[in-house]
Amino acid sequence: MRVWLYAILSLSILQPLSVIAESAKPQVLMETNQGAMIIELYPDKAPQTVANFLKYVNEGFYDGTIFHRVINNFMIQGGGFDETMTQKRGHAPIQNEADNGLRNKIGYIAMARTSDPHSASSQFFINVANNSTLDFREKTDRAYGYAVFGRVVDGMKTVNMIRNVPTTSRGGHQDVPVQPVIIQRVRQIK
């Protein structure tokens, strides 16, 4: 009887701990000159993408980069250029994990890439609209989609401030903020 009671008590104590462990997702604090935001990451859905993003975060790669492409009713993109519109050299591209069930919805963060589905490296974007056209449909170049790997859980006010900044063309790029939107610091907080 005593062993059975101990087993029940042990399970009732351990079970909440496992639930807590499962719900503990990494978070990063992104501080910009427009305000801050906290982004929760989903390594259970996009393990390579989250590992890649955190590698850049922990190296300090994003510190001093800018949101270099802002389209008000679409997305805000950053993580690859400095204030002079000089592109930073990143690591090798990663495998596209867009087929993970996550969607490009308002507040969700995804990896930016070229027309090659597996070309994402450091650049990311935060959706400011529900962009279902960017979601995975099939494993073809045209329909692979963009890998969502997290979402803004605090700081959508900052995201909305950024999405509304005036933009221009500069250095051969369109939709560049007139005044730089600087990512001052990004660090893992959880």
The answer, yes or no, to whether residue 2 has pLDDT greater than 60, is no
The pLDDT of residue 171: 82
Residue type, 116: D
The tens digit of pLDDT for each residue in 7-24 reads 444 444 444 444 444 457
The tens digit of pLDDT for each residue in 79-116 reads 999 999 999 999 999 999 999 999 999 999 999 999 99
Distances (CA, A) of 35 to 13, 71, 156: 40, 18, 10
The pLDDT of residue 12: 47
Residue type, 179: Q
Q: Which domains does the chain have, with CATH numbers?
A: 25-188 (2.40.100.10)
DSSP string, 52-76: HHHHHHHHTTTTTEEEEEEETTTEE
- Give me 122's structure tokens: 């450091």
The pLDDT of residue 1: 46
The tens digit of pLDDT for each residue in 157-189 reads 999 999 999 999 998 999 999 999 999 999 999
The tens digit of pLDDT for each residue in 41-91 reads 999 999 999 999 999 999 999 999 999 999 999 999 999 999 999 999 999
- Write the DSSP symbol of residue 99: G
Average the pLDDT over each of 5-14, 27-36, 102-111, 142-151 and give the range with the smallest value: 5-14
Task: Report the predicted TM-score, pTM, of the whole model to 2 decimal places.
Answer: 0.88
| Residue, of 190 and 120, whose pLDDT is higher | 120
Round to whole Å and give the CA distance between 123 and 109.
Answer: 11
Q: What's the mean pLDDT in 24-44? A: 97
The pLDDT of residue 23: 55
